[in-house]
Amino acid sequence: KKIAQADSVAVIGLGRFGASLALELMKSGTSVLGIDLDSEIVQELNGELTQVVRADATKREALEQLSLNEFDRVVVAIGTHLQASILTCSKLLSMGVPHVWAKALDDQHGLILEQLGVDHIIYPEKDMGKRVAHLVRGAMMDYVEIDSGFAMVKMNSPKVLHGLRLGDSNLRKHYGVTVAARANADGKWQNADASTVLKPGDRILVLGPIEDTEAFGQLPE
């Protein structure tokens, strides 16, 4: 069976990262073609993804046979095998795949992929380390770097904001951040606006420059 390639994603390398990514895509309703060299891995994921194939992704014929050139988005999740990662990316790019995403183990690996022309480079270990550092350090419950320098943080509402209309709190002026949404004790999220008044125990979603969201995240509840 052949899946409609344009709105599907091909994931090459179904190790811990690739498999988790592929399964998450399936959950959100995306069709996924998974490819791995290891037949045991292929067997394990058989039935979990739209299609799973055992193939050597460094071989152009294999990629052509699987019509990878017809995919809009292909993720190369091969990390530890540097040579396989580089060869696979270079073949995909020369086949004209519009969006190649690739996992890099470190900066050097990332630099090579960048020079090849890979447009989206993912550093799972590095990014997760940064993210966990923010969580370990403060009251933040979740942290996402939106783009370099800007972040979104989930945290408990700090005491300084309790009982005050957000519109009167001078939040942006004093702390450089914006409260985008809040959830009350029963966990229901709502957009926040100028008339929102936070209570102890509320959770909030805060947006702003990293240093500012970080400082704000350290305020006592």
Interacting residues toward ligand ADP by CB under 6 A = 12-18, 35-38, 41, 56-58, 78-81, 84
Kindly tell me which of 16 and 159 has the beta carbon lying closer to ligand ADP: 16
Neighbour order of strands in the sheet with 51-54: 51-54, 32-36, 9-12, 73-76, 99-103, 120-122
Is residue 206 within 8 Å of residue 152, measured between CB atoms?
yes
Kindly tell me which of 28 and 83 has the beta carbon lying closer to ligand ADP: 83
CA distances from 78 to 51, 86, 168, 210 (A): 18, 9, 51, 30
- We find the least distance from the C-beta atom of residue 152 to ligand ADP, in angstroms, to be 25
Provide φ and ψ at 147, rounded to 5°. -155, 170
Is residue 29 within 8 Å of residue 23, measured between CB atoms?
no
Kindly tell me which of 25 and 35 has the beta carbon lying closer to ligand ADP: 35
Kindly tell me which of 38 and 119 has the beta carbon lying closer to ligand ADP: 38
- We find the least distance from the C-beta atom of residue 123 to ligand ADP, in angstroms, to be 12
- We find the least distance from the C-beta atom of residue 92 to ligand ADP, in angstroms, to be 12
Identity at 158, one-letter amino acid code: P
Is residue 40 within 8 Å of residue 34, measured between CB atoms?
no
Quick one: which of 191, 197, 189 has its CA closest to 167?
Answer: 197
- We find the least distance from the C-beta atom of residue 71 to ligand ADP, in angstroms, to be 15
- We find the least distance from the C-beta atom of residue 11 to ligand ADP, in angstroms, to be 10
Kindly tell me which of 12 and 32 has the beta carbon lying closer to ligand ADP: 12
The residue number with the shortest CB distance to ligand ADP is 15
Quick one: which of 44, 39, 80, 74 has its CA closest to 56?
Answer: 39
